Amino acid sequence: MSSTSPKIPYKIYLEESEMPKAWYNIRHAMKNKPAPLLNPGTHQPMQAEELEPVFCKELIAQELDNDTEYFEIPQEIRDFYRMYRPSPLVRAYCLEEALDTPAHIYYKFEGNNTSGSHKLNSAIAQAYYAKKQGLKGVTTETGAGQWGTALSMACSYFGLDCKVYMVKVSYEQKPFRREVMRVYGADVTPSPSETTQIGRKILADHPGTTGSLGCAISEAVEAAVSTPGYRYVLGSVLNQVLLHQSVIGLETEAALAKYDIVPDIIIGCAGGGSNLGGLIAPFMRDKINGKLDARIIAVEPASCPSLTRGVYAYDFCDTGMVCPLAKMYTLGSGFIPSPNHAGGLRYHGMSSVLSQLYDDGLMEAVSVEQTSVFEAAERFARVEGILPAPESSHAIKVAIDEALKCKETGEEKNIVFGLTGTGYFDLVAYEKFHNGEMTDYVPSDADLQKSISQLPVID
Amino acid sequence: MSSTSPKIPYKIYLEESEMPKAWYNIRHAMKNKPAPLLNPGTHQPMQAEELEPVFCKELIAQELDNDTEYFEIPQEIRDFYRMYRPSPLVRAYCLEEALDTPAHIYYKFEGNNTSGSHKLNSAIAQAYYAKKQGLKGVTTETGAGQWGTALSMACSYFGLDCKVYMVKVSYEQKPFRREVMRVYGADVTPSPSETTQIGRKILADHPGTTGSLGCAISEAVEAAVSTPGYRYVLGSVLNQVLLHQSVIGLETEAALAKYDIVPDIIIGCAGGGSNLGGLIAPFMRDKINGKLDARIIAVEPASCPSLTRGVYAYDFCDTGMVCPLAKMYTLGSGFIPSPNHAGGLRYHGMSSVLSQLYDDGLMEAVSVEQTSVFEAAERFARVEGILPAPESSHAIKVAIDEALKCKETGEEKNIVFGLTGTGYFDLVAYEKFHNGEMTDYVPSDADLQKSISQLPVID
């Protein structure tokens, strides 16, 4: 911070007029583009027409476009964004004081909307394009429930039907998530279910399974392609989702610029990669172009460590192997996280964009165990006032670690992290943590080897 | 709105520098001051010394002071306020469109903090004065749980112990509320309990009772006066609480002034009166002084209708009759709302300040039934994106009613209401509503007559 800059407020808000008018496509800046989706039968790059039975047309165009730098945000979506955006970039003065660190900590808080997370940024976009295409409804999966809630809100806004397959363990641990979706008129089914062919097969092969995002995706895709007037939408992993989530990064960039703050470390939790990919988009561009020398860190759970312990290869996006193949860091589509894993970040793979950036050495990755994550969450809550989601708390954990390193070295680094959402629906997990019943789980090498050995063979 | 005014944004935010630096005391403007608290034994006005075993000294000074116009907000409290304030004043464009009304609807949204409501505004003030007095901890009661959560956060921030008596029906309906309080280190007991003399007496007299705020207050007061280093704090009803909550009204006034908006109708839900009293403070001053010609409407549940069906008289503030007597609109301290009553607004009486203003004809009051409140809540959630608390939804219901009247008459009125909080912990009630299991309850005249007949006789 230069000496002439004004004092930085607790919360940096943009004016509505300063909100982004276009999404930024990080693929435009990437020297090595993410690998294309492949047809699971022919192993040839998927063409737009092949994707049309599953996805909305305009979203397919966004998905396949590595070259367009900016996509204009339609006015209808910008109107909706104004209901809960711009989101604040918060200077964590109280956390800094509690840690006694010279670091300056900032977090972009995406939890101040009823869906409770950043997922709404892409949900409203996907619902908009579905409506524009004249569809009757959409299907989707949800893990921790944030995406399902966000999509329910978005569909309600545009008058679309919304059918959600919710990973069974979350459905059972988060009874109130279903009720919020019901407020918005959604139909919620625990997955795996008897309502689809693939669900029945998974239940037969894995009796008593608590489900996974991969299973739920298969069911939602099957439901979409077998129901006239429906398409499938996805809350993470896909290029289009990272595109929509760039609104997080663009706002963060604009807020930092108001006070001449240059980030030294940018941290985000990573499951499928939607939040991280959105948060880092403009900063990664500057890093690729040599204009920014910042560390960018993905934080993943030790119980589902796709970047830190997976392989970079083509894999199925879903357990039922009905989706296109994507090249990504993956644990294998058959990987199912331990049932004691709280919250989201349960996906076996990672966004192709982030996988490529990681493979290119432009991004770091660390994995953290969940009891340490909840310790960080509670520490944060007590001084910053916000009850964080378990997912977001992965980023908090590493931000605190980095701030404590600054305390050792005396460095006044600017640490920016994404606080993706609130933990109001995660209190079963908090209760376990308080009762000392929460345990850590790290898959064995043998377990990972088993699921990774089932990757498809691509010539 | 004058033709030269800029277009009004979806959310009007103040700068941090524009946040109030002092609370406004509406009693200063009142021509008829609220009646003093009376000693329950002597029926003489309570002196500060008599209140000191129960309350913190500086809070007693605020409680008894009808003459000071402004109380400076200590810097420590202003620092905390900046963690979650200023709160937005939202223009409900989407709701207006859905209602097809010419009215302009605004709501002051106090739910964007982890306690989920406006209660934090007074909690942090009361915790601050307790800390300043060198106390070890505080006791309190909580109904729906909002106040208990807010106080837990505030006590955690200042390192105070926090002992919460939670109305039993809420304790059982809202298991996660307890867990949030636990994140912040509070000790939560369902009330009535066996831990106090008065709790044991109430349980003996009313076996199976689901509790009431009046019971829980008695227990919390007993616990405070019988534990060295503790005092009792209260989240509503008291003059000091309305004083702290004036920050809501002052921010609302400043936000409206930015766009030259003059309110025609101001609406707030009313249980003990903390939100309403805070929201209306500066507007009531202008109304008393003849500078504003706005209707001010208190909305209460038909199942606990202190203003619309109570009597204006001295009564006990608690079921155990250990507190001072207050002159207020009351249903009698023995009144216990029906167990089917969802959420807060369960108190048998009403703030002495608001009672006097209502008696002076400066304020209107209406009562609404809870199924109509949940209909309004869902309608609001679907277009404005925020899942409202049942309490707040009482104000939504009447704001919608007034906006629809404007549709009939074609009037372009400015309607301002307080959206006090979010409904994340009220999903049991939403579920009942969705399942058609929610019923309305209106106490019979005979029931009210019975509890009112037990008012103390004051010469």
Encode chain B (459 residues) as per-residue pLDDT tens digits.
344 455 898 889 899 899 999 999 999 999 999 999 999 999 999 999 999 999 999 999 999 999 999 999 999 999 999 888 999 999 999 999 999 999 999 999 999 888 899 999 999 999 999 999 999 999 999 988 899 999 999 999 999 999 999 989 888 878 788 889 989 999 999 999 999 999 999 999 999 988 888 889 999 999 999 999 999 999 999 999 999 999 999 999 999 999 999 999 999 999 999 999 999 999 999 999 999 999 999 999 999 999 999 999 999 988 888 889 999 999 999 888 887 788 788 899 999 999 999 999 999 999 999 999 999 999 999 989 899 999 999 999 999 999 999 999 999 999 999 999 999 988 989 999 989 999 999 999 999 999 999 999 887
B437 touches chain A (CB under 8 A): no
DSSP letter at A366?
A: E
Task: Please tell me the pTM assigned to this model.
Answer: 0.91
Sign of the CA dihedral with A8 first, then A9, A11, and A17 last: negative
Tell me the fold of A11-20+86-116+240-452: Rossmann fold (3.40.50)
A180 touches chain B (CB under 8 A): yes
Taking contacts as CB-CB distances below 8 angstroms, the residues of chain B near A374 are none
C-alpha to C-alpha distances, A350 to A284, A346, B55, nearest whole angstrom:
17, 10, 56
Residue B183 to residue A378, Cβ atoms within 8 A? yes
Q: In which band, very low, low, confident or very high, does the pLDDT at A49 lie, cut at 50, 70 and 90?
A: very high
Taking contacts as CB-CB distances below 8 angstroms, the residues of chain B near A82 are 9-11
Strand partners, B38: B45, B325
A424 touches chain B (CB under 8 A): yes
Taking contacts as CB-CB distances below 8 angstroms, the residues of chain A near B386 are 113-114
Per-residue pLDDT tens over the stretch A266-310: 999 999 999 999 999 999 999 999 999 999 999 999 999 999 999
The radius of gyration computed from the CA coordinates of chain A, to the nearest angstrom, equals 20
Which residue in chain A has the smallest CA separation from B383?
A157
Per-residue pLDDT tens over the stretch B81-91: 988 899 999 99
A268: nearest Cα among A399, A358, A383, A101: A399
Domain ranges of chain B: 11-20+86-116+240-452, 23-72+119-238
- Residue to substitute from A176, A180, A396, A419, interface B, most B β-carbons within 10 A: A176
Instruction: Looking at the complex, report in whole angstroms how far the Cα of residue B394 sits from the nearest Cα belonging to chain A.
Output: 17
DSSP letter for each residue of B203-249: HHHSTT----HHHHHHHHHHHHHTSTTEEE--SSSSHHHHHHHHHHH
DSSP letter for each residue of A173-235: H-HHHHHHHHHTT-EEEEES-TTSHHHHHHHHHSTT----HHHHHHHHHHHHHTSTTEEE--S
Taking contacts as CB-CB distances below 8 angstroms, the residues of chain B near A84 are 385
Instruction: Looking at the complex, report in whole angstroms how far the Cα of residue B134 sits from the nearest Cα belonging to chain A.
Output: 21
Taking contacts as CB-CB distances below 8 angstroms, the residues of chain B near A393 are none
Per-residue pLDDT tens over the stretch A204-219: 999 998 888 888 999 9
- Residue to substitute from B78, B173, B183, B382, interface A, most A β-carbons within 10 A: B183
Side-chain-side CA neighbours of residue B272 (13 Å): 27
Fold agreement (A11-20+86-116+240-452, A23-72+119-238): yes
A336 touches chain B (CB under 8 A): no
CA distance A234 to B18: 42
Taking contacts as CB-CB distances below 8 angstroms, the residues of chain B near A388 are none
A412: nearest Cα among A1, A102, A31, A60: A102
Taking contacts as CB-CB distances below 8 angstroms, the residues of chain B near A259 are none
Q: Note the Cα A382 to chain centre separation in Å.
A: 25
- Residue to substitute from B112, B160, B173, interface A, most A β-carbons within 10 A: B112
Q: Which CATH architecture does the domain made up of B23-72+119-238 adopt?
A: 3-Layer(aba) Sandwich (3.40)
Across B49-203, the runs of DSSP E, i.e. the strands, are: 70-72, 89-91, 104-109, 137-142, 161-167, 187-191
B404 touches chain A (CB under 8 A): no
- Whether omega for the bond prior to residue B192 falls within 30 degrees of 0, making it cis, is yes
